[in-house]
Amino acid sequence: MEFFAQYAGFLLRTVTVVVAIVMVLVVIAALRSKGRGQSHGQLQVHKLNDVYQSLRERLEQAVLDKHSLKIQRKAEAKHAKQAKKDGAKKPRVFVLDFDGDIKASATDNLRHEITALLSMATANDEVVLRLESGGGMVHSYGLASSQLARIRQAGVPLTVCVDKVAASGGYMMACIGDKILSAPFAILGSIGVVAQLPNVHRLLKKHEIDFEVLTAGEYKRTLTVFGENTDKGREKFQEDLETTHELFKGFVARYRPQLSIDEVATGEVWLGMAALDKLLVDDLQTSDEYLGNRAREAELFHLHYAEKKSLQERFGIATSVALDRVLLTWWNRLSQQRFWQ
């Protein structure tokens, strides 16, 4: 009799867990169907002037005595009141960030940010792009550059700040700026094209493994990983690289006509100080210095388009965190038991 009671209790707990899981799945399905057709992201806007002001005020509180601080605050309030009375309108600076990987994945967010700011930006405003990228795929960075070109075409001044690196595809983006600012030891240039791939044909042949490549079109495949590469294929591949390089050079020369393009389009990179001599940049200045100075005379707005994670992703993250906590708790208890034993 006791056995059946224990079995019934076990069965009831099992059924409860199954029902709970089914209910969770139903809720997830309902939320998914409800969220279809809605936006997958949202634009986040933060006023950077408030950040700078908060930092300054915190420092003043620590450094100034109460009397001096009181005088300072009164002067600031008087100045703000007068500016409001005069109706003085400060120019706006829209700040964007681009942290590029090999696929220029940040382009998806960048296009939304540019679309948003172009809906209200004028020639009296400015866009500042803090750019970090060592380059990557030609077509990916070509699209990212085309997004920045929209700003130039709209007649809105574009300033590109490079604190660490803007090379290859990264410099393709940077050159679109009306003004390029670089930290003294940032890396710039690499105006060149590279492609590399391994070939294991001889290894397959050694082990008597056949690999066939069937194509329609003489140059559908020039170089392959598994097939036997030919001199004709190599020549065509090199020709394609040279064509891409010429297009790259022409693109940079269009936006930076002051460059001696053949001199800098060798694939070399230069640090900021040398890049200034080569006219790859216009001034040596960090983004912090530039934005700090602009904050004194303009309103700075940082734009960031954030992709909303799908319900499955959020659920997966929450589950992973919960599982990590359970495992950590279990491990701690087990360790304590071992220690006290």
The residue type of 237 is: F
The 3-state DSSP class for residue 210 equals coil
The catalytic site residues sit at 168, 220
Contact 280, 259 (CB under 8 A): yes
Cα torsion 145, 150, 154, 158 to 10°: value is: -30
d(CA 291, CA 242): 39
d(CA 17, CA 11): 10
| For helices 107-118 and 138-153, angle between their N-to-C axes, nearest 10 degrees | 10
d(CA 98, CA 126): 17
Contact 133, 164 (CB under 8 A): no
Sign of the Cα pseudo-torsion (237, 241, 243, 244, in order): positive
Cα torsion 167, 168, 174, 180 to 10°: value is: 50
d(CA 88, CA 297): 11
